């Protein structure tokens, strides 16, 4: 539904909710709306690595994060730019082991790290994603 065969059908929030089928998705969307006053924007990507529908959360022209829907979970992409790296490094020890490992194993390009964090439970990774998005927002 969210891949190659459905690029001409823009998903609704309800369709996305049913596809992801995880209560954390609703919580995340509500958090983004309440905290940053942003609404999800559905976009179709033809990138070979993540071909299909994704969800962008932007504040003005600045991207806070991009979400890739999966069955029963979702992946959040948060970019750490060179301007945010110092703040991120100061908070590094407060992040859970999994997020630290994602950061350490993500190659840097153009002074950026593109962190892809899977969320399926309301655990430390979810709280860390919220902290990283706050860094992006500053």
Residues 48-52: contacts with CB under 8 Å, at least 24 apart: 51/3, 51/4, 52/2, 52/3, 52/4, 52/7
Residue 93 — very low, low, confident or very high, per pLDDT cuts 50/70/90? very high
Q: 53-83 pLDDT, tens per residue?
A: 899 999 988 899 999 999 999 999 999 999 9
Select the highest-mean-pLDDT range: 1-10, 27-36, 38-47. Answer: 27-36
H-helix or E-strand containing 115? strand 112-119
pTM (2 d.p.): 0.90
What mean pLDDT comes out for the span 116-125? 91
């Amino acid at each position: 539904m969210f891949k190659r065969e459905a690029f001409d059908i823009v998903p609704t929030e309800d369709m996305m909710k049913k596809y992801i089928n995880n209560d954390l998705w609703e919580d995340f969307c509500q958090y983004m709306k309440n905290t940053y006053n942003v609404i999800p924007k559905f976009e179709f990507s033809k990138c070979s690595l993540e071909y299909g529908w994704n969800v962008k959360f932007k504040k003005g022209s600045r991207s806070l994060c991009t979400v890739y829907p999966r069955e029963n979970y979702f992946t959040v992409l948060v970019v750490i730019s060179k301007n945010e790296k110092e703040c991120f490094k100061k908070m590094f020890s407060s992040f859970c082991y999994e997020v630290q490992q994602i950061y350490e194993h993500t190659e840097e390009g153009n002074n950026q790290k593109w962190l892809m964090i899977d969320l399926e439970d309301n655990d430390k990774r979810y709280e860390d994603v919220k902290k990283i998005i706050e860094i992006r927002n500053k």
